Chain A
Amino acid sequence: GDSVTQMEGPVTLSEEAFLTINCTYTATGYPSLFWYVQYPGEGLQLLLKATKADDKGSNKGFEATYRKETTSFHLEKGSVQVSDSAVYFCALIAGNKLTFGGGTRVLVKP
């Protein structure tokens, strides 16, 4: 079946550091890919998405490119802030079924 694998956290880094969270997937067909973010005490919010190969999703300084050849959708941000501390989930939709990765906790220290 479909699956999403993302790096385990927690990832701890300093303010203004570069952030990468790896995400790889297996799916039949041509899934759409998403990154969701969960801030403490809240539900998940859509951060960005890409619907076909080579698409780049971007939002709030975060970017991810849909790489079909490596079945990956890595999340990057060039300069993180304390307010980016959250749990990040990679996800895919294939055949109307949504599959989440296990989540990566990111902690940004001042």
Chain B
Amino acid sequence: DAEITQSPRHKITETGRQVTLACHQTWNHNNMFWYRQDLGHGLRLIHYSYGVQDTNKGEVSDGYSVSRSNTEDLPLTLESAASSQTSVYFCASSEFTGNSPLHFGNGTRLTVT
């Protein structure tokens, strides 16, 4: 079965370190998304991609970057981790149609100390 996999499931890092969260999907979807989930804020879009070599900023993109070198992967990099980036991060993918639902990974819980 097709799936979307995030790794690691849990990560603890120190302030100022660079961190990369992996996302790999086998749906062959063009669209991929990164969200963060925080109490009181629901899900907020960080970055998204509509295809290889395409990346776009979401509503909370500061301090994050993504790259899309193939269809399957959209890694999320925190350039210099900050305590405000402690959160649960979700990757998602969808087919390239307006009505298509998102398929989510199980999330990565990141703690920045």
**Using a CB–CB distance below 8 Å, which chain A residues touch chain B?**
32, 34, 36, 41-46, 49, 51, 89, 93-96, 98, 100-103
Contacts and interface: CB of A to CB of B under 8 A. Distances in A.
A79 to B, nearest CB: 26
A34 B101 contact: yes
A43 B104 contact: yes
Nearest to A48: B101
Contact of B101 (A42, A43, A46, A96): A46
Contacts of A44: 43, 90, 92, 102, 104
A89 B42 contact: yes
Interface of B: 4, 33, 40-43, 45, 90, 92, 98-107
Contacts, number: 46
A102 B41 contact: yes
The A interface is mostly helix, strand or loop, or mixed, namely strand
B72 to A, nearest CB: 17
Contact of B106 (A42, A89, A96): A42
Contacts of B101: 34, 36, 46, 49
Contact of B42 (A94, A95, A103): A103
Between A41, A51, A98, A101, the greatest number of chain B beta carbons within 10 A of the residue's beta carbon is seen for A98
Given A100-B42, A101-B42, A102-B41, A93 B99 contact: yes
A98 B41 contact: no
A51 B99 contact: yes
Given A93-B99, A95-B98, A45 B42 contact: no
Contacts of A45: 104
18 contacts: A32-B98, A32-B99, A36-B101, A36-B102, A42-B107, A43-B4, A43-B90, A44-B43, A44-B102, A46-B102, A51-B99, A89-B42, A95-B98, A98-B45, A100-B43, A102-B40, A102-B41, A102-B42
Nearest to A99: B45
Nearest to A100: B43
B108 to A, nearest CB: 10
B43 A96 contact: no
